[in-house]
Amino acid sequence: MLWRVIWNPKWNETLFVVSCAERLLAGVNPAHSEAEILYRLKRDHTLLYPKQQGVSHIRFRLLLLSRQGQELLQEVAYMSLPKALANI
């Protein structure tokens, strides 16, 4: 835990991806935000499943949680179009 006060690249990148999601929903340069998210999804997918065959496209969705009183609501706020891995 203490080492992460000095070195925490993965989490800082996660925070950037959250910023991209917020910008995407706000309509601020959405193409850039979508490209940044897809680039990281492709990179992490390749790292996690280096030998996986047959995956040609990826897509992502943004799920928002909101509170209404004591009840939590889920809403799919955005669904990207399938994108060919070769084009990311």
Partner 1 sequence: MSFEDSLRATELLMGFAFSLQSLEHLKSCRNVRYLFFPRLVLALLLLIGVHTPWVSVLLLVLSLLVLHRFQGPYNGGSDRMSLLLLSCLCAAYWAPGVYWQQLALAYLAVQLSLSYFVSGWVKVLNPDWRSGLALVDVFRFSTYPVSESLRDWSTQPRLLWGMSWCVMGFELLFPLALLFRPAMILALGIAAVFHFANACLFGLNRFFWIWISAYPSVLWFQSYLLSKY
- Which run of H or of E encompasses 60? none
Residue 35 to residue 23: CA distance in whole angstroms: 12
CA 38, chain centre distance (Å): 7
Per CB under 8 A, the segment of 24-32, 45-53, 54-62, 75-83 that binds partner 1 is 24-32
Report the sign of the C-alpha dihedral through residues 82, 83, 85, 88, in that order.
negative
The region of 3-11, 46-54, 55-63, 74-82 touching partner 1 under the rule CB under 8 A is 3-11
Q: Is 5 in the site for partner 1 (CB under 8 A)?
A: yes
Question: Which residues in this chain contact partner 1 in the complex, by CB under 8 A?
Answer: 1-2, 4-13, 15-16, 19, 23, 28-29, 32-33, 36, 39, 65, 67
